[in-house]
Structure 1
Amino acid sequence: MEKIECRMFRSDTAYLLYLQQKTKAERKDELEKNTSKEKKAVVYKDECRRHGVSCLSRFIRQIEFSNIDMSNARLNSLEVLTIFNTIKTDHTLRELNLSGTNMDCPSYKYLSNFLRKNHTLSNLVIQKCAIHGETLKAIVASLMTSHITFLDLGNNGIQDNDSEILAEILTMKTLKELYLSHNRLETRNTKSIGTSLAYSALETLDLSWNHIRFIGAIEIAKGIKKNRKLRRLNLSWNGFGFEGCVSLAEMLETNDVLTDLDLTNNRIHPPALIALIRGVTQNSSLKVLNLSMNPIPASYTCTLLGTILKNTSIYKLILKKIVVNEEFVDILRTVKQTRRIHVEYEICLPVSSVDSQTMSKQVRPPRLFNLDPLNLLFMLKEKNRAQDFFNKINRNGDDVLSYEEFRELFKKAGIPVSQLVLDKIIEFMDQNKDGNIDLSEFLDGDKRIKKISRGQAKENMRRESYTKYSRSFRKAKIDSQTFRLNIETDQ
């Protein structure tokens, strides 16, 4: 190399001069770098001396880096202040990790002030910092003016009551990756999160280990349904179950952006998986699906998971801790002949597959309805006057309603109800306790049901908006727009 460089010069003297200048330039750059580090170290030591704290050698070693990692350093508020005063004007800082710092009142104020002044920081990791409630609110207010693109708030004890604050984070235009794992969002007050998700600019969202189920699962899926940016979604170790899978299926039917979905350990049993598959098979963008550690029997894998292999564009299906049968492996082998696909599973066993008809009977919903029996009867009667409805139920014309006539009413409506449901309706209306309901008892019972319904109108409306995702609601073929049962006038 030196010989080639030497030929570029007219004489050896010119080449030696070139080498001398090059060496001086390299030494100058190194000296400037060392000088910058020394200056920052002097500033940091002065700050430590002024506030009466010991210098941290771990911070001094990283003082000139663009990535500073102080995770699990157990910093107190004064140590936090000295660090922020040192780096607040650092234009090379890109990533800061303060995980494990106890964000007491002074500490989160120092962090908020730092975020307002520094505009070069892009990655912020603050796990295990007890950031929730008012602390979270103050930090989020400062984040709104920052240029953060990566934010990790995992394991901070964030709860449902903080949902409004999290909704503000989701509206940040610069934020692309948000990690909220190991918090406690659970089921309530998640509507604001779902609303913000619909218009969020996030590309990656991690909500794993949050106890999200039922209402929370439904609201989050409804928000993602309208989102046009999110590509990677981690919902592992929650409780989406049947209702969550129904709402996810609705989301997947219309969402054409999401590519990676993690549903590890979400109580997805066969009925829930059937509901999910309806959406997965109609989605064209999903490429990676993780269903690990869900209660899916080996005998069902051929029928259910085989459907995913054959009817989707997924190229990576992860089924850790799930046992499959030989027929599933045969399907996988056939699919690999036409396209590239990677499947992970626990083990293959010689278990015979359950045919679709038998499986449908085995996963049939229980003969119970999740609405209150009195509200259920009121929904049936809603379009009719009470006396006309009484005459419709009273088939034999004896002017009294019996168990069998009520049972026949629900049967023709396609609603599987148990004896307990009928017992509650009869007990509520039967004032003379003779086991039958005459017209006067029915009219009086209808008035009392109306009074109860008016008193609970707001709560009923809220509950009905989520009830449509339940198994029994879908079994009964209830109109999702009007929440009325689909019943013929002539029965």
Structure 2
Amino acid sequence: MQNFLESFTLKTLSRPTTTTQDVDLDLSDDSDSDEKKPIEDDQETLLDLSVKYPDYDNTGSKTYEKACRKFDVVPSSKITRKMDSDKDTTLDLKHYGLDSKGTMAVAMAMVVNTTLTKLNLKGNNIGESGMLYLQVMMSENCTITSLDISENNLKSFGAKSIGMMLHDNKFLRELNIGGNGFTDLDAPFLTKKIEEHMALHYLNLSHNLFGDLSGNSFEHMIAENASLEELDLSWNQFRIIGAKKIANGLKENDHLKIVNASWNGYDDDGAAAFGDVLANNKYLIELDISCCRIGPEGFGKVMKGLKSNDALEVLKIGKNNIPDSAVETAVDLLLTLDPSTFKLECLDLSDVMLTGKSQERLAELKEPFPELDIIHGYTDSYGKRRMVGFGDMGQEALLCLKEYLEECNMTVTELFSRFDEDGSNSVDYDEFRQGIRDEGIPLSSEQVDHLIKYIDIDGDGDIDFSELVLKIKEITKKRAEEVAQRDAESAKRRR
């Protein structure tokens, strides 16, 4: 294979007030080299990418080992074994502790390797240097079709680098860049290149900080892209305006089949926009708008959208404020629809508790729509129904508290210190209630009561800081399991 590049010119990927180190991909054994000078912002940079590949290295394993020596990284036998295998096509290194230097070594080896098609570097703290090496590698690699670099906290530098990577690489079909701290200011660097990419089928942008200010960027990306089939925008900060912009894009899109827009804050007006999508989009087969602060009015407008929809198969709208009366109204509407054109197979109302009367009304749908599965009530991580208890309602309240912390960019320690005036790392129930009110956390008195019972593990009448931290860890793990299962189900559908 021809050497990676004799020389390559790349605009510096830098943020204001920061500098980036020159990227050196020279694998020669000569360790005496001049000290690299910082790269000034916005200047043209000549990257020394001349690589002396070991003889007969057609898998990249020898290049990887030599790069590890150069960067003083301990080589991984798993990585070399995967590269040398003529059967494996996936290099799964999620949470592998690579850091930036380990990522740089892998990136250099992947320039040579032509058998691996899936690369998973989730949660490796790859850093700016590692991301830059990946970007350059992907500009050369035409065999990797699936890339996961989620949970690496790449932020603005990473957004710019990923945008340039998508500009250069036209073979990528699946990309997961969730959990990287991207904000509204980063959205243009990503959305424009995604909009123009004609091979990307799956895109995960979940667990970032995108909100209404980037709504226009996402509207254009969704409306103009002609290749995406599955899009995940869950766990961001879109509100009513953002919901309307996303909905406008979906009304113009005729390729997307699966959209996960859950765990945002659309309220009823935003839900109405998604109802309009269902009334006008004939291609979407799955929509998830769970836990988006949707009330009975918004739920009703989403259901009305089904009247003229003959494509949607899965609608997930659970974990919202949907009372019995709204569900019964929805049943009346569904009974007026033509079973021969109605395609809905799953209506997910998870964590929506219904009375016996409402459940009887739902049973009326079985005869005209025998294929329709309606999920309701509280569920565990695997979707099995179970009865509501104080722990369940406490978990939901704790999730609201956790979301508040994320929106305010506040740590648990900072919040608790505001409640704990005497610094004892413990507050009584009244102090906890007063702290919730003073902070303006959107929880009702009943929710706070359930939250207190759920957090106070030892039942001593006080809430300890350690108890709150433990419960937040538990609920985070549980939600991560739910997300993982949903992702696995989506992957099965893509296959």
Specify if TM > 0.5.
yes
**Is the 2:312–2:344 Cα contact (8 Å) retained in structure 1?**
yes
**Is the 2:58–2:113 Cα contact (8 Å) retained in structure 1?**
no
Cross-structure match for 1:174: 199
**Is the 1:67–1:93 Cα contact (8 Å) retained in structure 2?**
yes
Cross-structure match for 1:261: 287
**Is the 1:163–1:190 Cα contact (8 Å) retained in structure 2?**
no
Cross-structure match for 1:217: 243
2:77 pairs with 57, 64, 73, which one?
Answer: 57
User: Residue by residue, what CA displacement relative to the aligned partner does 1:285-344 show, whole Å, maximum 9, x if unpaired?
Assistant: 111111111111224321235534653531111111112234443343333223321111
Task: State the AA in 1 paired with 2:351.
Answer: K
Find the aligned partners of 1:99 and 1:321 in 2 and give their Cα distance. Answer: 30
Cross-structure match for 1:420: none
**Is the 1:47–1:85 Cα contact (8 Å) retained in structure 2?**
yes
1:160 pairs with 184, 209, 224, which one?
Answer: 184
Pairing of 1:60-75 with structure 2 (within 5 A) = 60-63=80-83, 64=85, 65-75=88-98
Structure ranking higher in helix proportion: 1
Instruction: Flag the 1:106–1:338 CA change in 2: closer, same or farther, 3 A.
Output: same
Find the aligned partners of 1:151 and 1:122 in 2 and give their Cα distance. Answer: 8
1:285 pairs with 277, 286, 311, which one?
Answer: 311
SS at match of 2:203: strand
Pairing of 1:53-202 with structure 2 (within 5 A) = 53-63=73-83, 64=85, 65-146=88-169, 147-168=171-192, 169-200=194-225, 201-202=227-228
1:215 is displaced (CA, Å) by: 1.1
Cross-structure match for 1:351: none
Instruction: Flag the 1:53–1:221 CA change in 2: closer, same or farther, 3 A.
Output: same
Instruction: Flag the 1:66–1:303 CA change in 2: closer, same or farther, 3 A.
Output: same
SS at match of 2:263: coil
Once the two structures are overlaid, the 10-residue window that deviates more, 273-282 or 195-204, is 273-282
The TM-score with structure 1 as length reference comes to 0.60
Find the aligned partners of 1:280 and 1:171 in 2 and give their Cα distance. Answer: 31
Larger radius of gyration: 1
1:207 is displaced (CA, Å) by: 0.6
Cross-structure match for 2:373: 342
Pairing of 1:467-478 with structure 2 (within 5 A) = none
SS at match of 1:221: helix
Aligned residues: 315
SS at match of 1:109: helix
Gaps of 5+ in 2: 1-54, 379-384, 386-495
User: Residue by residue, what CA displacement relative to the aligned partner does 1:103-130 show, whole Å, maximum 9, x if unpaired?
Assistant: 4332122011100010010000001112
1:193 is displaced (CA, Å) by: 1.3
Find the aligned partners of 1:177 and 1:237 in 2 and give their Cα distance. Answer: 19
Cross-structure match for 1:329: 359
Task: State the AA in 2 paired with 1:345.
Answer: H
Once the two structures are overlaid, the 10-residue window that deviates more, 137-146 or 233-242, is 137-146
Instruction: Flag the 1:276–1:178 CA change in 2: closer, same or farther, 3 A.
Output: same
1:89 is displaced (CA, Å) by: 2.0
**Is the 1:259–1:286 Cα contact (8 Å) retained in structure 2?**
yes
Find the aligned partners of 1:134 and 1:185 in 2 and give their Cα distance. Answer: 16
Pairing of 1:371-382 with structure 2 (within 5 A) = none
**Is the 2:294–2:321 Cα contact (8 Å) retained in structure 1?**
yes
SS at match of 2:162: helix
Cross-structure match for 1:44: 64
Cross-structure match for 2:486: none
Gaps of 5+ in 1: 1-34, 349-491
The TM-score with structure 2 as length reference comes to 0.60
